[in-house]
């Protein structure tokens, strides 16, 4: 932007035209004003007069890069002077219906460039300082590109155009006719594609690196998870081991309590049985005592009866002997008869008594046998019960000892449990397990061995794995987006290329007939064609020309003569004139190699072409003599008088 002051010149509906070029201390000019008009301006004069200096001055003021490359700017200052100035005054060619008094649109503006001997320079626009970029931006807004050969062609540039590569020629044409945006759009899309390809390659590389890193951290994370799982298992096993010891101790205590309870029940049962046995023993003792007494009674009764029977049998025997003795005495005294009779009676009574005694003895013996039969089982029962009592007492003592031992073990187990329980509770929540401590310990050993085999794993493993997993996912997603964008840009490039090809082809379809029409005046034919359109970098423009019935050949520095090359290039420029955007065009000494016939034909075409577009300003520099001209042609003659160039205009309207 140039700012809001008077120097600002907006883009105009009507094109700007150079009305005047002012030279001060520029090359061979001390001070000169060169008026220019719309249409065709021909600058002529002898060699060395300063014709080309005018075009050079215009180019310098417009900021053409060629003028700065060809020589030092300080060399353009007139000898003996310290500063030079070139000023271009632009005016507007009003179109039909436009009014010069239109508000907010000044009809004139001025661009000046000052050059100092030390090589420094500056610009002014409407007498306000501006930099080169601002001036260039202003001119670009009017379609003026001083660096394009097709707009400003200095002396010798015609040959330069011939040797310019086809891609460079095409680019010049595009810039001149306003097609730059089509190329720029393609290049912009290609730049975008390059960036996307670079980004895609970069992301792909990052993705590969991220994948490798992710695989590393995945392995580490798997180790981390495995170790974490094993550590959790170890924690559980340690907890299980602690609680298994508690559970085992509780089971021991439960077993001891059960044993104690059973032993106490058993002891109670033994005590009851002992009590019963003792009662039975007492009963049996009493029974045995009674039987003993009865047996003694019976025995003593039996002894007494046996004694009585023995005494009775002895008495009987004695009486029998006495009776036998008495019977053997013959005669027997009477007194003995009574005694014998008495003795016999006594024997009978004794026998009866003995019989009674035998019965009694038999009864007593029978009763004694019964008593003995009763005593034996009773005694056996008594002995058995006494043995049972002794056994029960022994069992009672053993049971009491067992209870005491179990109670001691229970107390020890309780003490051990009181030590194990806090440890287990500290390890965590109670674990129900049926496994023994040995089984758990073996499992714990194996788990510890696995943990040791895994080795050290960074605590940041999970964090790093999740970070790279997220990064990998993001890169993958980004790669998908970039790939889709790349496909869209490729499609966009293809569309833009097709549009570019189509407008270029339409341009050539328009230019080629004019090109051949002009060439036909000089007994020539030719063709303008596009080459290598598949690539915008290699796509080019190729001119072909053939003179005097010859087949058209590609224009180059070797096939055609200098005049033929000049004719072909100027013909192409003239064919392209109505499509060039710049309102100002200039060419220097295009005709030096042409024969008079071709030179005249070119001038006629040039004049008719310029007449067809009154908004275009052409400057042609020639060392030749103008033999014919039109009243609408503005002729400027330049002479060098004693080292100073002077300008004079020729007015054919007078």
Measure CA 643 to chain center: 78
Quote the DSSP letter at residue 64: -
Q: Take residue 275 and report the two structure tokens written for it.
A: 């009590």
Question: How do residues 12-27 score in pLDDT, each as one tens digit?
Answer: 446 788 999 999 999 9
Specify which residues 367 forms β-bridges with: none
Query: Max Cα separation, the chain?
Result: 251
Q: In the prediction, which pLDDT does 66 show? A: 67
Q: Residue 471: which of 203, 248, 653, 285 has the closest Cα?
A: 203
Question: How do residues 158-193 score in pLDDT, each as one tens digit?
Answer: 888 889 999 999 999 998 898 889 989 998 998 888
Question: How do residues 250-294 score in pLDDT, each as one tens digit?
Answer: 888 899 999 899 999 989 999 998 898 889 888 888 888 888 888
Q: In the prediction, which pLDDT does 148 show? A: 86
Range with lowest mean pLDDT among 138-152, 395-409, 638-652: 638-652
Distance between CA atoms of 541 and 508, rounded to whole angstroms?
10
Residue 647 has pLDDT above 90, yes or no: no
Specify which residues 114 forms β-bridges with: 85, 122
Q: In the prediction, which pLDDT does 531 show? A: 93
Q: In the prediction, which pLDDT does 632 show? A: 76
Q: In the prediction, which pLDDT does 581 show? A: 86
Distance between CA atoms of 209 and 203, rounded to whole angstroms?
9
Query: Domains of the chain (ranges plus CATH)?
Result: 1-148+583-594+616-654 (3.40.50.300), 212-437 (1.20.1270)
Strands (E), 93-141: 109-116, 121-125, 128-130
pLDDT-based confidence at residue 11 (cuts at 50, 70, 90)? very low
Instruction: Supply the DSSP string of 268-317, one letter for each residue.
Output: HHHHHHHHHHHHHHHHHHHHHHHHHHHHHHHHHHHHHHHHHHHHHHHHHH
Q: Take residue 126 and report the two structure tokens written for it.
A: 């409407």
Q: Take residue 448 and report the two structure tokens written for it.
A: 């510890």
Classify 30 as helix, strand or coil.
strand
Q: Residue 649: which of 53, 92, 50, 45 has the closest Cα?
A: 45
Question: How do residues 574-585 score in pLDDT, each as one tens digit?
Answer: 899 888 888 888
Residue 652 has pLDDT above 50, yes or no: no
Question: How do residues 492-536 score in pLDDT, each as one tens digit?
Answer: 999 999 999 999 999 999 999 999 999 999 899 999 999 998 888
Q: Residue 565: which of 590, 583, 548 has the closest Cα?
A: 590
The predicted model scores a pTM of 0.62
Distance between CA atoms of 427 and 447, rounded to whole angstroms?
18
pLDDT-based confidence at residue 95 (cuts at 50, 70, 90)? low
> Stretch 282-310: mean pLDDT, rounded?
83
- If one compares 5 and 181, the residue with the highest pLDDT of the two is 181
Question: How do residues 213-261 score in pLDDT, each as one tens digit?
Answer: 889 888 888 888 888 898 888 988 888 888 888 888 888 889 999 989 9
Q: Residue 20: which of 4, 45, 37 has the closest Cα?
A: 37
Distance between CA atoms of 247 and 238, rounded to whole angstroms?
14
Share the mean pLDDT of the chain.
Answer: 85
Q: Take residue 329 and report the two structure tokens written for it.
A: 């005495």
Question: How do residues 28-48 score in pLDDT, each as one tens digit?
Answer: 999 999 999 988 899 988 888
Residue 111 has pLDDT above 80, yes or no: yes
* Contacts with 217 (C-beta within 8 Å, 6 or more apart), sequence order: 461, 464, 465, 468
Q: Take residue 591 and report the two structure tokens written for it.
A: 């005709």
């Amino acid at each position: 932007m140039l700012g809001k002051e008077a120097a600002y010149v907006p883009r105009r509906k009507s094109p700007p035209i150079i009305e005047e070029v002012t030279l001060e201390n520029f090359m061979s000019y001390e001070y000169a004003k060169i008026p220019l008009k719309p249409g065709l301006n021909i600058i002529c004069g002898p060699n060395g007069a300063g014709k080309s200096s005018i075009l050079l001055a215009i180019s310098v003021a417009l900021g053409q890069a060629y003028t700065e490359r060809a020589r030092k700017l300080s060399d353009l200052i007139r000898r003996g002077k310290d500063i030079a100035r070139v000023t271009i005054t632009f005016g507007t060619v009003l179109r039909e219906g436009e009014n010069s008094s239109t508000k907010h649109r000044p009809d004139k503006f001025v661009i000046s460039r000052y050059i100092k001997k030390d090589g420094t320079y500056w610009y002014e626009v409407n007498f306000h300082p501006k930099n080169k970029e601002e001036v260039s931006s202003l001119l670009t807004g009017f379609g003026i590109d001083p660096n394009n050969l097709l707009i400003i062609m200095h002396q010798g540039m015609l040959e330069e155009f011939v040797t310019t590569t086809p891609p460079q020629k095409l680019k010049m044409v595009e810039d001149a006719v306003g097609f730059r945006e089509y190329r720029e759009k393609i290049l912009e899309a290609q730049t975008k594609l390059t960036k996307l390809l670079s980004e895609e390659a970069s992301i792909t590389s990052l993705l590969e690196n991220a994948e490798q890193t992710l695989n590393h951290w995945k392995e580490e994370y798997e180790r981390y998870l495995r170790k974490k799982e094993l550590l959790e298992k170890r924690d559980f096993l340690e907890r299980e081991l602690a609680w298994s010891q508690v559970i085992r101790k509780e089971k021991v205590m439960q077993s001891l309590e059960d044993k104690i309870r059973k032993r106490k029940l058993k002891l109670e049962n033994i005590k009851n049985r002992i009590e019963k046995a003792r009662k039975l023993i007492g009963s049996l003792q009493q029974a045995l005592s009674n039987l003993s007494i009865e047996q003694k009674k019976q025995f003593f009764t039996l002894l007494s009866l046996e004694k009585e029977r023995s005494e009775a049998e002895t008495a009987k025997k004695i009486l029998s002997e006495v009776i036998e003795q008495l019977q053997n005495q013959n005669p027997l005294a009477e007194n003995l008869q009574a005694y014998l009779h008495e003795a016999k009676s006594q024997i009978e009574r004794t026998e009866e008594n003995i019989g009674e005694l035998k019965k009694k003895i038999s009864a007593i013996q029978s009763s004694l046998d019964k008593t003995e039969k009763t005593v034996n089982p009773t005694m056996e029962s008594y002995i058995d019960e006494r043995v049972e009592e002794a056994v029960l007492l022994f069992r009672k003592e053993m049971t009491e000892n067992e209870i005491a031992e179990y109670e001691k073990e229970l107390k020890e187990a309780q003490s051990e449990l009181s030590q194990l329980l806090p440890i287990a509770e500290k390890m965590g929540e109670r674990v129900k397990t049926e496994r023994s401590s040995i089984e758990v310990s073996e499992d714990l050993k194996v788990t510890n061995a696995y943990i040791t085999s895994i080795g050290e794993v960074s605590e940041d493993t999970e964090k790093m794995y999740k970070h790279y997993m997220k990064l990998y996912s993001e890169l993958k997603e980004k790669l998908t987006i970039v790939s889709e964008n790349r496909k869209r840009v490729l499609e966009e490039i293809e569309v833009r290329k097709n549009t570019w090809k189509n407008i270029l082809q339409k341009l050539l379809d328009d230019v080629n007939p004019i090109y051949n029409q002009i060439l036909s005046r000089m007994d020539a034919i030719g063709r303008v064609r596009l080459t290598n359109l598949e690539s915008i970098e290699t796509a080019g423009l190729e001119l072909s020309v053939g003179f005097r019935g010859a087949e058209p050949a590609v224009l180059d520095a070797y096939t055609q003569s200098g005049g033929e090359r000049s004719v072909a290039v100027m013909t192409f420029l003239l064919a392209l004139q109505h499509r060039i955007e710049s309102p100002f065009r200039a060419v220097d000494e295009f005709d030096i190699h042409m024969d008079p016939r071709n030179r005249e034909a070119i001038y006629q075409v040039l004049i008719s072409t310029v007449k067809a577009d009154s908004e275009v300003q052409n400057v042609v520099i020639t060392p030749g003599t103008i033999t014919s001209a039109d009243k609408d042609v503005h002729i400027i003659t330049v002479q060098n008088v004693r080292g100073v160039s002077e300008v004079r205009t020729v007015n054919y309207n007078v």
